[in-house]
Structures are given as structure tokens and as C-alpha cells.
Structure 1
Amino acid sequence: MKKLHKLIILSYLRPFIATFFIVSFILLMLFLFKYVDELVGKGLEWHTIAELLMYAAASNVPLALPLAILLSSIMTFGNLGEQYELVAIKASGVSLTRAMMPLVVVMIFMSIAAFYFSNIVMPKSFLKMASLLYDVREKKAAFAIPEGVFYNDLDGFSIRVDKKDDDGQTLHGIMIYDHSQGMGNTNVILAKQGKMYKSDDNHYLIFNLSDGVRYEEMRGAGNLGDRQRHVRVRFSQFEQKFDMSGFNLSRTKEELFKDQYQMLNVKQLLVKEDSLKKVETSKTSMLQSYLQSTFLFYRKSGDFKRTKPYTLKLRTKDDVLNVVPADKRLMITEDALSSIRNVKSYLSTAVEEKKSTDDLLRRHLVEFHRKFTLSFACMVLFFIGAPMGAIVRKGGLGMPFLISIIFFLIFHIFSITGEKFAKQGSLEPYQGMWLASVVLVPLGLFLTYKAASDSALFDADKYKRFFNTILPQKEKSKFK
């Protein structure tokens, strides 16, 4: 490897690694802001939150990687231009396109890695994140009994405590409603004080109550009524257990989510696409056979007589009824109306099923093309960022960051717009998913040409001279 190639590659990798982690961190904070209400107050272990953040960081790579490539490309060639290293490279006989070649090779390897990531890593990350996020959402908030209000998060019980001591275990003025039998408020426990603690395996919450009374309403003799007997039991010590399994994070089987289109790789998406097309073809065939056997001219004793198309054109409504025997006309008319109603209902259901199948098929095709658009976007944004940095000749983070945000917004807007149109059916899936790349490829070629030809694309004096040549003499003074 030449020293020049090594210089350019190292000059690129340093800002790329920094910007990639910065962008990933920002996107991860946005993820936390979105789901903070579902994470806070549930007593989650730190490793559970770390695992969820790791999967979320992997799912943010399709946004972080293109932006990092664009920003680092502008920064690299902007620094080389600002420090006149790019001028020295060109003066030694090396053109800009040749200077870009080592980074083009790096981009090829990075595009291959991006495809591997989007095809292998991301489906697994989406699967594990969806499963874990579902379990976190279903998990109850951390156990904490407040003072003076009823606490209802324990299944089958309502608990009210007048006061808690500073140790968090000693309780005063305890009232417990037992609804576990599904009979309403038929079982009530009152106690002046008690101790609260968890079992050794953390599966149960134990209340050791003292100086209290238990009221229970029971069925009478012969089951004549639900509340014929009233039982009151006083106690000096009483132990009540509560099941706390609902407060533990139970992991759902990942197999429940694995058929989602986001959790499939390219091979699985092709298999799913083929199966959906077969299902749609089968339903269309069933619909045709149903309609073919329903639209008949005359039905008698199970024998069906089809009407020839040319005879229908020659007959009026009255002629059709006249060929039917008089004693059969009412039956035939009611039978026809019933058939039409059945066909209408069947067609409405078939239309909705076809819409649902088409929508699911489009989503699978969108996800299929997404596997490839990420890799291609890396190349396109590099060929926008590198020549743009060579043109503006500004290093650092200020100007490159502003320019990269503008171009990335253009890329992202076209990406989400094309994806939305593809999912709605306004565009074909391949058209919607490749829309951003098709729009930006000519821009990348144009900027590469301008940078290679040393064009002063952002030279204000050049534009002043241009307007001075085309405007009348009296207007020239405005541009001096």
C-alpha cells in the first residue's frame, strides 16, 4: 500500500468511527425518549436494559451508517483541501479520482458488510428487540404500596395502608380486600399493624399481620344464597401471601415473532413472497369457480343450464322470465336474489382478503429491496460527500456537518416517501425503495465531475461575473 493511500484511509477512518458512534448515540437517545415511559418504574435489571439498548443500536444502523459515511467523507476531503494537502496531491500528478480509489475500495468492503448486516444481523436484532420490548411492556411496574390509597396491582387483591415506617417494612392501618375467588368484596382483612417482606425466592410477598380481624361472607345452608353467613375471626398473628410472578420479567418465545417480515433474511423473504403469491392465485381460482357455478340461467332439480352470451343480448328482462314456467317464476326470482346476495357478500370478503394479501406482499418486497438499498446508499453518499468536501475545502465539524445534514435529509425524505408510496401501492416496491438512490446518483456524478475538473462551484465571484455578463449595463453596479 502506498503512503498516500494509507494517509487517505487513516484520514477517513478516524472521523468515520467518531461520527458513527456519535450518530448512533443520538439515535439511541431518541429511542430512550420514545420508550422511557415503558421502561421507568418497572424495576428492570441493568443487563435487561443494556440488552434492549444493544438491539436498538443495531436497528439504528440503517440511519447511522449512511450519515456517518457522508459526514466523514466531507470532513476528510475538506480537511485535505483546507490544509492544501489535496493541492499537493494533484500537483504530484495524482488526480482526485485516483486519490479517491483507496476509499472506493473501502466503500466496496463496507457495502458488502452493510449487506451482510442488513441480511443476517438486523433480522435477528429486530426479532430479539421485538420480543424483549413486548415483555417489558407487559411487565408490571415495580412493587410499591403507597400510603392512604388502594393498591390494585397484585392480582386478586386490593391493599390500603394508612402509614409506612421509614424502614419500608413496618405498616400501620392495613386493609386487604380479597377478590381472588371472583365473588366480590366478600373477604376483608383489617389489621392495626404488620410487617412486609419477600420470600427467599422473590416469588411471594408475605404480610405478617398482628392484632386484626377477618370478615368473610359465605353461602348459607343448602346454598340458598351467596351471602347468608357472616364469619368474623379475630387474630393476634396472621400471615397472608401474595403471588408476585406478575412483577417478574417473563420472556416470550421468539418463535411468536419470527414470521414478521422485518425478521426475515433475503432467502426467507423470497420463500414468503412465493407462498403469498400461491395463496393469492389459489384464492383467485376459488373465486372464479364459485362465480362460474353461481351465475346460471335456470336451476331445476340440480340440473344447470347455462345461458349462451348471444342469447342474453337478444332478450329483455321480460323475455327471460317468459321462458321460465309460470309456477317456477317466484322460486327462480327468490333463488336469483339469494344468489346475488351471497355473491355480493363473498366478493366483499374476497376483496378485503386480496387487499390484505397484497399489502402483506408489498411489505415483504419492500423489506427485500431494503437489504440492497442500504449497501448502495453507502456508495452513493460517499460519491456525494467526497467531491463536496474537495469543493468546499472546509474541515472540522461545522460546515461539513451542515452540508451532510442537508444531503442526508434529501436522502432520508426520498427514502421514507418512496417506502410509504410502495407500501400504499402507489409505486412498485422496487421503484419506491430505489427512489432515493436514483435521485442522488446523478447528483453524485455531477459533484464528482465538478470536483475532478477543479470547478469553483461555490465561488461567489464567479457567479457575480456571470450575472454581469448577462444583465444590462445599468444593472451591473448592483453586483460590484
Structure 2
Amino acid sequence: MTVRKSLPLFSFIPGLSVMDRYIIAELIPPFLFGMGMFSSVGVTIGSLFDLMRKAVDEGLPATLVLKVLLLSLPQFMAYAFPTSVLLATLLTYSRLSSDSELIALRSCGVSIYRLVLPAILLSFIITGVTFGFNEYVVPASNYQATLTLERALGEEKPAFKERNIFYREYGEVEQADGSKDNLLKRLFYAQKFDGERMKGLTILDWSQQGLNQIVTADSAIWNIAQSTWDFYNGTIYLVAPDASYRNIVRFEHQQLQLPRIPLDLARKDRDYDEMNITQARERLELERQSGDEDDIRKLKIRINQKFALPFACVVFGLVGGSLGNRPQRTSKATGFGISVLVIFAYYMLMAIGDALGLSNYLPPLISAWLPNLMGFAVGGFLLIRAAR
């Protein structure tokens, strides 16, 4: 077996043998090829067709279409990192097997586990790259792509929620026997919001035993100086413990000590794919205070998926390395076919885990990591079987 000269590119990694450097160097070209292929396919299927239809219908200039496509590319590149690792490991180890290089290494006493180690090492490096890329590049790029297209189509949406702002405040409510339970304390609803002023408001207050206050108002704004709400042209209905009206107070201007959270919820302006982990966690804290369990569960799943997706590189590196080390010779066409099947199975498991998590059949953590857990189990089984 002829071993190529080790590349200086990997000299910064201590402890690598000549074999490790050689295998990693062999993995790089098919990985780069896979990045280009899977990214371009993703952009073509995910964005190009819909964008071209809009460009024809609305007469968008070619430069703007190209800009939106380029801004959409990072999201598909983030998905292409793991799939490219799979393709690279399958093709590289299959070629080494076809050229009898793996047989020569095995005859020198090198185990299957040792042969797969360079692929796992490279997978961990690409995992770190994927995490940084998915955290710092993809959300900002998606957000800019959305804004660019909306402006071009004249459909630019305001950076806030315009209608139906709900806020549910939970807290300890004193009961008739003197005990306190964590119950719904206050319900805040506004029909419209223009970025500064809430309109058509109704507040139901259970902060004491029973429903003791209903507030309606034409409008309200947040008073930054006094950290309170200024309500205008409204009515306060005071309710007795027996649910009868105790008093009715009409006002032109009234200050009420309510949380600022409804304003923060109304000003949320990014979709899940347009937020990094820090922004998603800030949104999660707001949703927790609002008590919307569906949104809370969905955000928890999305945050865990941002950690789980980069580790798909390690899963695919393990699976690809194990399959590529089989004694049967595998052609490039077969390697492509196996890659497509493994990728389809992984993303099908991701969709299943997402559905089970959103339906509350699985905890968010398990839901997000389900494809990786299954992938590690399958990859470990294949590796042990190949080592026999």
C-alpha cells in the first residue's frame, strides 16, 4: 500500500498518525463535493421554484432573486454538513476497501475501531463548525431573506404582532380556607396593537378569591417612566364574591399595575428558524410567563434541536464509516444510494420525534435527540458487526 505524504493542513491536531492524516485527507474531497451537491439541491427544491414563480408573477429583478437565494443558502448548508459527512465516509472507506488498502491495514493489526476513528474525529470537528454556523449565520441570514422578499413584494410585515394579543398570568391565589394554589391569576387580551398602543382591551382579574375585577378600555400604552400601564376610556367592573357586580367605575385615564410582558409578547417578530439559541431562550422565558403550553413545548423542542442537529455529523460519520468498512466492495452509485436511504431515515425520525414531542407523547429533550439516539444505536451495531 502506498501512503500519500501527510498534509500540513492537519499538523495542528496533535497525536495524529500518518494513517489518520491520510484517511482524513481522503475524506475531505468527497465531503466538499457533498456540501456543494446537497446545498444546491436543497436550495433548488426548497426555494428556487417558489421564488421563480413569485419573480415571474411580481416582476422581481434578477439581482433581488439572486440575493434571496444566496441568503437562503446557509440554512441548506447547515443541513448539508451532516449529509456530506455521511457521503464522504461511505465513499472514502468504500474506495479504500476496493483498493485493498483497508485489507493491508487490517493485516498490520489495525482494528476496525481504529480505522473508523479518523472519521469520528473529523465528524466532531464538523459538528463544532455546524453548531457555530447554525447559531451565528443561519438565523440572521433567514431573517434577512424574509425581510428582503417581503419588501420586494410589498408585503413587509411589522416587527410586532398586530392582532389578538393574549397574556395569561399565573400565580398563587388565596382560597376560601386560607390556602394558596398556583392558578390562573389574570387574563390580558387586546384586539389590536400598532407597535406602541394596545386597543380594545379586556382584563379579567382573579388575583384574589373569585373573579373580583373586569377592566375594559379603548386603548392602553406602557408608561416607561413609571413602569405601569396607562388605560384610556374604559370601565372597571368590581365583582363581589357571589359573582354579582359590586360597583362600576368609568374612567378616561387610569393607571394599573400590570406586568410589561404583554408588550414584550406583542413585539416578538422572528420565526423559530430566525432565532439563535439566546433569542429562543429569551422567547421561552416570555412564553413561560404567558402560560401557553403549546408554544412552550414547541420552543423547548426547537432549542434542543439546535443542539442535536450538529451531532448528526457524528451519527453519520459513525454509520458511514461502519458501512464503508464492510468487506463487500461498494461502487460510487451504491454509496449514493445508501446515503439517500440513511438521510431519508434520519429526517423521517426527526419528523416523527417532532410530532411526538409537539403532541406531548415524548419530553422535548428526547423528541429532539430521538434521531441521534437511534442513529448512534444503529451505527454502534453496524460497527461491532463489521469488526467481527
Q: TM-score, normalised by structure 1?
A: 0.51
Question: Contact 2:301–2:357 (CA<8 Å) still a contact in 1?
Answer: yes
The one of 20, 42, 50 equivalent to 1:27 is 42
Q: Is residue 2:288 matched to residue 1:277?
A: yes
Partner of 1:259: 270
Partner of 2:354: 419
Read off the aligned partner of 1:3 and give its amino acid letter.
V
Partner of 1:15: 30
Q: Deviations over 1:331-367 (max 9, x none)?
A: xxxxxxxxxxxxxxxxxxxxxxxxxx22221221122
Partner of 2:143: 127
Corresponding residue SS for 1:363: helix
Given the superposition, is the C-alpha separation of residues 120 and 268 from structure 1 closer, same or farther in structure 2, using an over 3 Å criterion? same
Once the two structures are TM-superposed, the CA of residue 392 in structure 1 deviates from its matched residue by 5.4
Distance 2:351 2:279 in 1: 24
Corresponding residue SS for 2:329: coil
Distance 2:38 2:315 in 1: 19
Partner of 1:107: 123
Corresponding residue SS for 1:93: coil
The one of 16, 39, 42 equivalent to 2:55 is 39
Task: Decide which structure has the larger Cα Rg and report it.
Answer: 1
- Correspondence list, 1:235-384, <5 A: 258-280=269-291, 357-384=292-319
- Correspondence list, 1:89-108, <5 A: 89-108=105-124
Q: Deviations over 1:19-56 (max 9, x none)?
A: 12111111111121233211225443333222211122
Q: Deviations over 1:81-113 (max 9, x none)?
A: 111000111112222222222222211111111
Read off the aligned partner of 2:113 and give its amino acid letter.
T
Given the superposition, is the C-alpha separation of residues 396 and 258 from structure 1 closer, same or farther in structure 2, using an over 3 Å criterion? farther
Distance 1:394 1:258 in 2: 53
Distance 2:300 2:267 in 1: 21
Once the two structures are TM-superposed, the CA of residue 15 in structure 1 deviates from its matched residue by 0.7
Partner of 1:394: 329
Question: Contact 1:131–1:257 (CA<8 Å) still a contact in 2?
Answer: no
Q: Deviations over 1:186-238 (max 9, x none)?
A: xxxxxxxxxxxxxxxxxxxxxxxxxxxxxxxxxxxxxxxxxxxxxxxxxxxxx
Distance 1:83 1:45 in 2: 51
Partner of 1:409: 344
Q: Deviations over 1:294-324 (max 9, x none)?
A: xxxxxxxxxxxxxxxxxxxxxxxxxxxxxxx
Once the two structures are TM-superposed, the CA of residue 123 in structure 1 deviates from its matched residue by 1.1
Given the superposition, is the C-alpha separation of residues 424 and 55 from structure 1 closer, same or farther in structure 2, using an over 3 Å criterion? farther
Corresponding residue SS for 1:359: helix
- Correspondence list, 1:408-447, <5 A: 408-447=343-382
Distance 2:79 2:272 in 1: 19
Read off the aligned partner of 2:40 and give its amino acid letter.
F
Partner of 2:207: none
Q: Structure 1: which 4+ aligned runs deviate by more than 4 Å?
A: 255-258
Q: TM-score, normalised by structure 2?
A: 0.63
The one of 452, 457, 467 equivalent to 2:387 is 452
Once the two structures are TM-superposed, the CA of residue 380 in structure 1 deviates from its matched residue by 0.9
Distance 1:99 1:430 in 2: 32
Distance 1:56 1:396 in 2: 33
Partner of 1:76: 92
Distance 2:360 2:37 in 1: 36
Q: Deviations over 1:382-406 (max 9, x none)?
A: 1111110111543442111111111
Once the two structures are TM-superposed, the CA of residue 379 in structure 1 deviates from its matched residue by 0.5
Read off the aligned partner of 1:439 and give its amino acid letter.
M
* Structure 1 vs Structure 2 CA RMSD: 2.3
Question: Contact 1:127–1:258 (CA<8 Å) still a contact in 2?
Answer: no
Once the two structures are TM-superposed, the CA of residue 76 in structure 1 deviates from its matched residue by 0.8
Given the superposition, is the C-alpha separation of residues 393 and 137 from structure 1 closer, same or farther in structure 2, using an over 3 Å criterion? farther
Read off the aligned partner of 2:138 and give its amino acid letter.
M
The one of 70, 76, 84 equivalent to 1:60 is 76
Question: Contact 1:80–1:393 (CA<8 Å) still a contact in 2?
Answer: no
Q: Which blocks of at least 5 consecutive residues in structure 2 are unaligned? A: 1-15, 156-265
Distance 2:328 2:91 in 1: 9
Structure having the larger proportion of residues in helix: 1
Q: Is residue 2:88 matched to residue 1:88?
A: no
Question: Contact 2:318–2:379 (CA<8 Å) still a contact in 1?
Answer: yes
Distance 1:277 1:404 in 2: 40
| Identity value in percent | 22
Distance 1:64 1:48 in 2: 24
Partner of 1:351: none
Q: Which blocks of at least 5 consecutive residues in structure 1 are unaligned? A: 140-254, 281-356, 454-480
Once the two structures are TM-superposed, the CA of residue 67 in structure 1 deviates from its matched residue by 1.7
Partner of 2:4: none
Partner of 1:221: none
Structure having the larger proportion of residues in strand: 2
Given the superposition, is the C-alpha separation of residues 125 and 57 from structure 1 closer, same or farther in structure 2, using an over 3 Å criterion? same
